[in-house]
Amino acid sequence: TDACLAAIEGAGALNAVVHGTPDKAREMARAADARIKSGDATPMTGIPLGIKDVFCVKGVPSQAASRILDGFKPEYESTVTQNLWDAGAVMLGKLNMDEFAMGSANENSCYGRAVNPWKAADGRELTPGGSSGGSAAAVAADLCIAATGTDTGGSIRQPAAFTGTVGMRPTYGRVSRWGVIAYASSLDQAGPMTKTVRDAAIMLGAMASVDEKDSTSADIPVPDFEAALTGDIRGKKIGIPREYRVDGMPAEIDQLWQKGADMLRDAGAEIVDISLPHTKYALPAYYVIAPAEASSNLARYDGVRYGRRAKLGQGDGITEMYEKTRAEGFGPEVQRRIMIGTYVLSAGFYDAYYNRARKVRALIKRDFDEAYAQGIDSILAPATPSAAFPLGAMDQADPVQMYLNDVFTVTLNLAGLPGISVPVGLDKQGLPLGLQLIGRAFEEGELLNQALVLE
Ligand code: GLN
């Protein structure tokens, strides 16, 4: 804990930690020490963690990197963080992210950008990815041993790939969403961001629980994920989905994918060609469904219940209060998503957009069901279409350019499946690249065991 606190002090330029809690960390570390001495430690006892700002931590600012939650200190603890503290983990502080987890570069944050500890060959600063950019940067720069993330459309796996770390999104329902500030409730899922696959297995085991406070928490016991790590994947069937070979995919991503397939084959797995025919509709369906749910979830920020309220002028009534508070409290990307969301849910367009996207979502899920019904154990694909890009590279771009970054990650969120991104190689500049394995629902142990082979 002391080493991490010192590293955080020296790493202000990364802007990864947005609210440090050093006193709390030292106190928790002392308690962990005592627990270890008394012989009742868990593998998480005394492990210093960073917590993405989207998790409510009692008495600590928790604002999902949004100005609209300025001053909000929750009166309650998220189930995930409570589970981690119960296991003896130590809280170092809150980590940077995109506002309300909307973004792929950690550039939509009220705290400013987070910076990737890896640098481009020409010295330019790079994005750590998003939305869990602060988590990925903090793990990669050794500011913490591991961090929590959330993944609605790739926000754990893409930043992990951009920083050479491991990121796992569990099956929807495996980890409680209670006390996690909502973005798109049918897609959101918290997961571990770590340095190794083994750490991910240990941390997922501590985060997961059946939770009556979350009605979508699955009533399925949490197995010992670490015990599943045998390294034996002989006879497993791993699918290579041909539709992920998108136009203009850089040769180095293709080579990385080939390398991953070879590693799995060398370990005794069978590599098979599969088809997920509706893949190309995943991105548009995601960018209808996620904003629709976001527009509804963000309606609660009204200047009354939480956080910030705008200063009002003479004669301003409640409507002006709402309008001014929301106009100054939400950043531009969040406002864009609210507008898209309310548009696709509006009476005149509901069938054309939202309902159609839901139907497409069902087809995407069916693609996976059919692949798994053929005996496929997992699916191997790139995590991202490129290595980390320079900070600000997308500033002038059309927002759709940024959305295209999520082409490989959003599909499994629509299907509710688990996925893990593992660093497998470097691009020609020497920057990390990740591959992802997509698993069967609630078989994270199996997935982690296969991921071990890619490490
Ligand atoms: N980049 C995607 C988005 O902006 C995914 C974000 C996430 O997984 N939270 O919506």
Residue 316 lies in a domain: yes
Q: For residue 438, give both structure tokens.
A: 């997509």
d(Cα 301, Cα 321) in Å, to the nearest integer? 11
Looking at the structure of the chain, the number of domains it has is: 2
Which band of pLDDT confidence, cut at 50, 70 and 90, is reported for residue 302?
Answer: very high
Beta-strand pair 270-274/237-241: parallel
Distances (CA, A) of 64 to 13, 356, 362: 20, 30, 30
Considering the domain architecture, whether residues 199 and 290 belong to the same structural domain is answered as: no
CA of 13 to the centre of ligand 1 (A): 24
The residues pairing with 435 across neighbouring beta strands, listed in sequence order, are 382, 422
d(Cα 63, Cα 57) in Å, to the nearest integer? 10
Supply the pLDDT for residue 320: 97
Residue 367 lies in a domain: no
Residue 274 lies in a domain: no
The residues pairing with 111 across neighbouring beta strands, listed in sequence order, are none
**Cα 438–Cα 432–Cα 418 angle in degrees, nearest 5:** 15
Stretch 126-136: mean pLDDT, rounded?
Answer: 98
> Mind listing the pLDDT tens digit for each residue in 5-32?
999 999 999 999 999 999 999 999 999 9
Query: Where is the domain boundary, 332, 355, 378?
Result: 355
Question: Which DSSP symbol is given to 330?
Answer: S
Computed on alpha carbons and rounded to an integer, the radius of gyration of the chain in Å comes to: 21
- Give the domain CATH number at 84: 3.90.1300.10
d(Cα 173, Cα 216) in Å, to the nearest integer? 6
pTM, to two decimals: 0.97
Q: Percent of the chain, pLDDT > 70? A: 100
Which band of pLDDT confidence, cut at 50, 70 and 90, is reported for residue 393?
Answer: confident
Ligand 1 atom 10: the closest Cα is on which residue?
102
Stretch 127-154: mean pLDDT, rounded?
Answer: 98
- One-letter amino acid at 262 equals D
Mean per-residue pLDDT over the chain, rounded:
97
Q: Choose, from 66, 155, 378, 421, the residue flagged as catalytic.
A: 155
Stretch 134-152: mean pLDDT, rounded?
Answer: 98
Residue 150 has pLDDT above 80, yes or no: yes
* 131 among known catalytic residues: yes
Considering the domain architecture, whether residues 448 and 325 belong to the same structural domain is answered as: no
Compute CA 10 distance to the chain's CA centroid, rounded to the nearest angstrom.
26
Stretch 218-243: mean pLDDT, rounded?
Answer: 98
> Mind listing the pLDDT tens digit for each residue in 339-386?
999 999 999 999 999 999 999 999 999 999 999 999 999 999 999 999
Stretch 230-242: mean pLDDT, rounded?
Answer: 97
Supply the pLDDT for residue 394: 79
222: helix, strand or coil? coil
Stretch 411-437: mean pLDDT, rounded?
Answer: 97
d(Cα 114, Cα 385) in Å, to the nearest integer? 21
The residues pairing with 51 across neighbouring beta strands, listed in sequence order, are 94
Considering the domain architecture, whether residues 128 and 205 belong to the same structural domain is answered as: yes
For the chain, the maximum distance between any two Cα atoms, rounded to a whole number of angstroms, is 74
Considering the domain architecture, whether residues 155 and 71 belong to the same structural domain is answered as: yes
Residue 236 lies in a domain: no
Which band of pLDDT confidence, cut at 50, 70 and 90, is reported for residue 86?
Answer: very high
Residue 400 has pLDDT above 90, yes or no: no
Range of the structural domain that residue 316 is part of? 281-355
Phi, psi of 430 (to 5 degrees): 90, 20
- Report which secondary-structure segment, H or E, holds 357: helix 356-373
- Report which secondary-structure segment, H or E, holds 368: helix 356-373
Ligand 1 touching residue 152 (CB < 6 A): yes
* 155 among known catalytic residues: yes
Whether this model's ipTM surpasses 0.95 comes out as yes
Residue 420 lies in a domain: no
Compute CA 285 distance to the chain's CA centroid, rounded to the nearest angstrom.
19
Supply the pLDDT for residue 328: 96
> Mind listing the pLDDT tens digit for each residue in 327-343?
999 999 999 999 999 99
Q: Do 80 and 55 form a contact (C-beta atoms < 8 A)?
A: yes
d(Cα 176, Cα 12) in Å, to the nearest integer? 32
Which band of pLDDT confidence, cut at 50, 70 and 90, is reported for residue 306?
Answer: confident
Separation of first and last alpha carbons in the chain: 26
Ligand 1 touching residue 167 (CB < 6 A): no
> Mind listing the pLDDT tens digit for each residue in 268-301?
999 999 999 999 999 999 999 999 999 999 999 9
Q: Choose, from 62, 78, 104, 131, the residue flagged as catalytic.
A: 131
Considering the domain architecture, whether residues 30 and 178 belong to the same structural domain is answered as: yes
Query: Where is the domain boundary, 310, 325, 355?
Result: 355
Give the atom of ligand 1 at the shortest distance from the alpha carbon of 130.
1
Which band of pLDDT confidence, cut at 50, 70 and 90, is reported for residue 399?
Answer: confident
- Residue 251: count other Cβ atoms within 10 Å of its Cβ: 8
Supply the pLDDT for residue 11: 98
CA of 419 to the centre of ligand 1 (A): 15
CA of 104 to the centre of ligand 1 (A): 6
Ligand 1 touching residue 341 (CB < 6 A): no
- One-letter amino acid at 297 equals N
d(Cα 272, Cα 88) in Å, to the nearest integer? 43
The closest alpha carbon to 106, from 95, 122, 120, belongs to: 95
Mutate which of 98, 99, 168, 334 for ligand 1? The one with the most ligand atoms within 8 Å of its CB, which is: 98
Residue 387 lies in a domain: no
CB-count burial class (<10 Å; 0-12, 13-18, 19+) for 228: middle
CA of 113 to the centre of ligand 1 (A): 16
Q: Percent of the chain, pLDDT > 90? A: 95
> Mind listing the pLDDT tens digit for each residue in 257-271?
999 999 999 999 999
Considering the domain architecture, whether residues 130 and 31 belong to the same structural domain is answered as: yes
d(Cα 282, Cα 290) in Å, to the nearest integer? 12
The closest alpha carbon to 282, from 432, 89, 438, belongs to: 438
Burial 34-48 (b: 16+ CB within 10 A, else e): ebeeeeebbbbbbbb
Residue 48 lies in a domain: yes
d(Cα 198, Cα 189) in Å, to the nearest integer? 20
CA of 150 to the centre of ligand 1 (A): 9
Ligand 1 touching residue 290 (CB < 6 A): yes
Which band of pLDDT confidence, cut at 50, 70 and 90, is reported for residue 397?
Answer: confident
Considering the domain architecture, whether residues 28 and 150 belong to the same structural domain is answered as: yes
Considering the domain architecture, whether residues 165 and 295 belong to the same structural domain is answered as: no
- One-letter amino acid at 295 equals S
